[in-house]
A and B are shown apart, each in its own frame.
Chain A
Amino acid sequence: AQTVTQSQPEMSVQEAETVTLSCTYDTSESNYYLFWYKQPPSRQMILVIRQEAYKQQNATENRFSVNFQKAAKSFSLKISDSQLGDTAMYFCAFIKTGANSKLTFGKGITLSVRP
């Protein structure tokens, strides 16, 4: 079974600063994907970024980038130039490839961006 651990329940960052959200996972699978989802107060879960396990290059989407350390099973999210709209709950998630795969979420972290 897979587990995803987000050990920080809350973080706060000043607008325009950089913040890093931590995530570790445990799996014996070799083919899998990792995701960061954002859930603002509007409730919709929005995909922020995706990383394929077989790719060594870290994924980047505009101000969002990941630090994927496969051997350490670590998948942290860096948000640069934080904006007020980044205030949300962030979930790290894991899924193995295969027909019967299910998404496993971490507990989530609440990020507040201060003006």
Chain B
Amino acid sequence: DTEVTQTPKHLVMGMTNKKSLKCEQHMGHRAMYWYKQKAKKPPELMFVYSYEKLSINESVPSRFSPECPNSSLLNLHLHALQPEDSALYLCASSQDRGGVRPLHFGNGTRLTVT
């Protein structure tokens, strides 16, 4: 069982839709991450939250909007996506951002943009 829960598992959306991805962890971790992963490629970092504040935005287009309502929850709001945004979106958490603690990943949301 994964300790980082992502919903939904699969999402199909049109280019004009608005949808959200959700990530939850109850391990008391204070750092949370969004990654985008294309098939057979390594994950690419999108955003990092540390103590509920956005600390890294890897120049992600504004059609992706992260939100961290509390220390256990991380959302990724999607609007006006492009077909090339179709990918596996992984959420991860760690105790802190010091690099000492490993990342724990969720099972991901498979997103298809039509």
Contacts and interface: CB of A to CB of B under 8 A. Distances in A.
Q: Do A and B bind each other?
A: yes
Interface size for chain A: under 10, 10 to 19, 20 to 34, or 35 or more residues? 20 to 34
Contacts of B55: 100
Interface residues of B, number: 24
Contact of A110 (B40, B97, B107): B40
B83 interface: no
B2 A44 contact: yes
Interface in A58-90: 89
A69 B105 CA distance: 28
Contacts of B100: 33, 97
B61 interface: no
11 contacts: A42-B107, A44-B108, A45-B103, A50-B102, A96-B99, A97-B98, A100-B55, A102-B48, A102-B56, A108-B40, A108-B42
Given A42-B107, A103-B103, 19 more contacts: A33-B99, A33-B102, A43-B90, A44-B105, A45-B43, A45-B105, A47-B102, A97-B98, A97-B100, A98-B99, A99-B97, A100-B56, A101-B97, A101-B98, A103-B45, A105-B43, A106-B42, A108-B40, A108-B41
